[in-house]
Amino acid sequence: MNELPNTQKKRDAADPASDEQLVAAFTRGSTEAFSELFARYNQPLLGFFRRRVADPAHAEELTQETFLAVLRAASRYEPRALFRTYLYAIGFRILRAHRRKAAFRLTFLGAAGFREPAAQPATDAEVVLHQAVGKLERTDREILMLREFEELSYSEIAELLRLPVNTVRSRLSRARMALRDLLAAPAPKSTAAELAESEERI
C-alpha cells in the first residue's frame, strides 16, 4: 500500500476528507484518494469476508473483487448513500454470488468440484463463539455481524439487507439474546465434524 506524503498526512489529520469526497476526488483522477479509501477499508473489508468465508484465499479474492468493482463503478457513483454502505453492499453482492457458485459446485460436482476449507479458530473462546454464532438464524446472524464487526448503524444495515429499520432492531435484539443464551449454556464437547459444520454455516 502506498504511503501518503507527509504534508497530506498532516492535512488529513487536521481535516480528514470524508469517504464521499475521496470518491469524488478519485473520479477526478486522484490516485491518492483511492489509496486513502483503500487504506481505510482494506482491513475491515477483508475482515468482513474472513468472517463469512472459511478459506482465507477466497476472502482475499473477494476483497480484491470488491475493490475492483468499486473502481469499475467509480465514474457512476452518486453519493446518495454513505460510501461505507455502498462498499459493503457491493461486498454482499459478491459474497452472495460466491456462495451461489460454491453451492452449485457442491450440488453438482460434489466436494471434488469445490472444497471450502474450514478456518481454524485460535482459542477455545473463539471455538465456542463460532459455534454459537453459527447456530443463529441466517438473517439474524448477518445483522448481528454487520452491527458488531462492521459497526454499521441500524439504518445502514436496513438499507443493505433491504429490511425495515424496526425489523433490523428487533432481529438484532433477538440475535443478541440468543447469543447470550448460547454463550451462557455449558459448552458441549464438539467433534471435529461439528466444528467444521458450524464454521461452514457461518
Q: Which residues bind another protein (CB under 8 A)?
A: 1-2, 26-27, 29-31, 33-35, 38, 42-43, 46-47, 50-51, 56, 60-61, 63-64, 67-68, 71-72, 74-75, 98-100, 102-104, 106-107, 116, 122-123, 125-126, 129-130, 133, 138, 144, 147-149, 153-154, 169-170, 172-173, 176-177, 179-180, 183, 197, 200-201
Task: Report d(CA 76, CA 78) in Å as an integer.
Answer: 6
Closer of 14 and 111 to another protein (Cβ): 111
Burial class for 96, CB neighbours closer than 10 Å (0-12, 13-18, 19+): exposed
Closer of 125 and 185 to another protein (Cβ): 125
User: Minimum distance from CB of 97 to another protein (Å)?
Assistant: 11
User: Minimum distance from CB of 23 to another protein (Å)?
Assistant: 11
Question: Amino acid letter at 103?
Answer: A
User: Minimum distance from CB of 95 to another protein (Å)?
Assistant: 10
